[in-house]
Amino acid sequence: MSIEFSKKLTAHETPIPGVVLYDLPVHGDSRGWFKENWQREKMMALGLPDFRPVQNNISFNEKAGTTRGIHAEPWDKFISVATGRIFGAWVDLREGPSFGAVFTAELDPSQAIFIPRGVGNSFQTLEDNTAYTYLVNDHWSADAQDQYTFLNLADETANIAWPIPLEQAELSDKDRAHPRLADVVPMPAKKILVVGADGQLGKALRILYDGDTSVEFAARAEFDLGSAESFTARNWKNYSTIINAAAYTAVDTAETPEGRTSAWAVNAAAVVRLAQTAVKHDLVLVHVSSDYVFDGTHENHAEDEPFAPLGVYGQTKAAGDATVSVVPRHYIVRTSWVIGEGNNFVRTMASLAKRGIEPSVVNDQIGRLSFTEDIAAGIRHLLQSGAAFGSYNLTNDGAPQSWAEIAADVYELSGQPRDAVTGVSTAEYFRDKPAAPRPLNSVLELTKIKNSGFQPRLAVDALAAYCGQLGALE
């Protein structure tokens, strides 16, 4: 066998999404050869996922013609040849449009290939005494075999051109008995888990992902964030992402002794558990934040503005954000003035307008509405587009308004005069009332989310559509 020495470390895409073939630098002389089979820093620079391998396996094959596979396992693999030479064949057995795609290549010790979870792996040795190595990111267990997916080596659809005909090759009885492609049950994608799924945002996510079996929704009854058992009872190997749609949002009650305890439990302590789970199992964690982490003294709040919360609610949300920020794969989605299904400011104003009541509404707090439909769409965009991890402001777009101006818009959309709404200052509105301090400016800078490819709707258009839905429900 002749090995090509001193290749440049190079990545080659293949017809199967996520499967990447690598040329490896092999250094040799009369004594033999040496190679860096796995070099995390260099390979990540080439785009290889940081798949956090935990186990290394070696398959030694005494005779040429030994053929193994086609096995799709519930973990990622980085595969290379230690000695000898193989013909490798890989078939995509994952749910999705690339199901059944095939890639083949001859590999010697100067090459390696990354095989994602659910892609069937098989090889045929072309030389005696060939050793085939696997670096995998999960520990093998007998229970895991229930999640394997198999394809027959002789499948006519895959039509793999084995160099040594299978009738002349060495196969196991199990490999001979695997099903044809038409009978293969594809390996399902890892799931997205939405916790807090019965809140305003959770309900919007339910609508957005309706019919998508890869998204699982858990209300408090199914996943109690305050219970350690909720975190230990799940097999997190079957999940890719957690979307935390749960929050304690009673801003004024959070200032009371009981409310303070509850706010810290939900917005901070529970988030610590979520972050620990995400780090341990290499999950993406999506966490929804709030304009209340700022004091409202800046004209436009950018994602990197230092926290300066005014009240307990904002303090607990800032604590949750700080925790999530250390998760390697995270999205912090910061919103303001959330409107969705359930009790909210717009519903209240529409009800008052219908009853002919003329309210006094705060006119010195400025911001933009965030409709849950748009927050949900923005979260899905971040996950699907593979946007850079980090914090993103996400509200509806358009000119900032005061609460009084928004109330007047609701009255006008409800067929009532705008001047039925009277503007008052925050200090006047809350005089002699127990209330948490509020930022006077809640305008969030939207450049970053727009640059990621997501364009939020104009708040005035979203408000008109929302009020139209309220009217249709009457």
Active site residues: 71, 134
d(CA 35, CA 24): 7
d(CA 58, CA 187): 24
Nearest one of 111, 131, 146, 143 to 56, comparing CA atoms: 131
Q: Are 5 and 28 in contact (CB under 8 A)?
A: yes
- If one counts every other C-beta atom within 10 angstroms of the C-beta of residue 306, the result is 9
Q: Are 158 and 181 in contact (CB under 8 A)?
A: yes
β strands within 346-464, DSSP E:
360-362, 366-367, 370-371, 390-393, 401-402, 422-424
Nearest one of 195, 350, 220, 344 to 275, comparing CA atoms: 195
Report the half-sphere exposure of 42 (CA within 13 A, side-chain side): 12
- If one counts every other C-beta atom within 10 angstroms of the C-beta of residue 318, the result is 21
- If one counts every other C-beta atom within 10 angstroms of the C-beta of residue 309, the result is 19
Tokens 């996922």 -> residue = 49
- If one counts every other C-beta atom within 10 angstroms of the C-beta of residue 177, the result is 10
Say which residues have a Cβ less than 8 Å from residue 43's Cβ, sequence separation at least 6: 9, 22
For residue 70, cis peptide bond before it (omega within 30 degrees of 0):
yes
Buried b (16+ CB within 10 A) or exposed e, 62-80: eebbbbbbbbbbbbbbbbb
Which two structure tokens, joined as six digits, stand for 270?
């529970």
d(CA 117, CA 406): 49
Q: How far is CA 165 from the centre of its chain?
A: 43
Q: Are 47 and 17 in contact (CB under 8 A)?
A: no
**Long-range pairs, 428-433, Cβ under 8 A, ≥24:** 429/360, 429/361, 429/362
Q: How far is CA 433 from CA 164, 173, 254, 402, 437, in A?
A: 84, 78, 14, 21, 12
Q: Which amino acid is at 377?
A: A
